[in-house]
Chains A and B, each alone.
Chain A
Amino acid sequence: QSVLTQPPSVSAAPGQKVTISCSGSSSNVGNNYVSWYQQLPGTAPKLLIYENNKRPSGIPDRFSGSKSGTSATLGITGLQTGDEADYYCGTWDSSLRAYVFGTGTKVTVL
């Protein structure tokens, strides 16, 4: 019942690129900054992208974020086996007055 929709899964071969979409509305993605989180198997989520496209210290530039209208996108280039994880978008929803997460996307490296 999340208000942010992501594809359930994406996959690509090592070295390739994947993109993950996060679709929302004007009350969330459209008018607020989007963050992205990476959750490796059995671990806590980790902040990957904040303010739509900024990377915290230590996050490689293979990870990038963008936003257009009510959709945001996470890109991962030079895919590595260590990138296999679940990825979530998140943002504040001004109508709900709540922080909302996306439905999550599982990235598989073929």
Chain B
Amino acid sequence: QITLKESGPTLVKPTQILTLTCTFSGFSLSTSGVGVGWIRQPPGKALEWLALIYWDDDKSYSPSLKSRLTITKDTSKNQVVLTMTNMDPVDTATYYCAHRDIAVGGFAFDIWGQGTMVTVSS
């Protein structure tokens, strides 16, 4: 059974760096075809994809946020870390991590974490 869980601060100040950790179980990020992505959702708004990292360390980022994002993985700890610099109140959102397996077909996030709410305020 695949599970993912996000963790990190619930409150950050403007201009600070946000570091979120996705801890997962039920799969390995060293398995060919597997990836973990980050998606966020501001209150009352739509989903927004942020970043994705694959088993081979290939990474992709949202073009509009690329300069502020870094995604890394620690295969031994079953964790994926997302950092976002220069936080702003508009970055207030629930942040989700999700599993992707190329074998599932197409491009889909088939298992999601419960999400973690991050508020940006001074």
Residues B106 and A99 in contact, CB atoms below 8 Å apart = no
- B residues 51-109 near A (Cβ < 8 Å) are 52, 60-63, 96, 104-109
Of all chain B residues, the one with the shortest Cβ separation from A34 is B106
Chain B residue contacts of A100, Cβ below 8 A: 49
Q: For the complex, count residues of B whose C-beta is within 8 A of A.
A: 24
- A residues 60-105 near B (Cβ < 8 Å) are 88, 90-92, 96-104
Residues A47 and B108 in contact, CB atoms below 8 Å apart = yes
Which of B47, B60, B110, B111 interacts with A88 by CB under 8 Å? B47
Residues A56 and B110 in contact, CB atoms below 8 Å apart = yes
Chain A residue contacts of B112, Cβ below 8 A: 44-47
Chain A interface helix/strand/loop/mixed = strand
Task: Give the distance in Å from the alpha carbon of A43 to the alpha carbon of B47 in the complex.
Answer: 13
Chain A residue contacts of B48, Cβ below 8 A: 101
A32 at the interface (CB under 8 A from B): yes
Q: For the complex, count residues of A whose C-beta is within 8 A of B.
A: 30
How close is A105's CB to chain B, nearest CB, in angstroms?
10
Residues A98 and B106 in contact, CB atoms below 8 Å apart = no
How close is B77's CB to chain A, nearest CB, in angstroms?
22
Of all chain A residues, the one with the shortest Cβ separation from B47 is A101
Chain A residue contacts of B63, Cβ below 8 A: 96-98
- Asked, given contacts A44-B96, A44-B114, whether A35 binds B46 with beta carbons under 8 Å apart, the answer is no
10 shortest A-B CB distances, which residue pairs? A33-B106, A50-B108, A35-B108, A51-B106, A99-B49, A101-B47, A51-B105, A44-B112, A92-B107, A104-B46
A residues in contact (CB < 8 Å) with B: 2, 32-35, 37, 39, 43-47, 50-52, 54, 56, 88, 90-92, 96-104
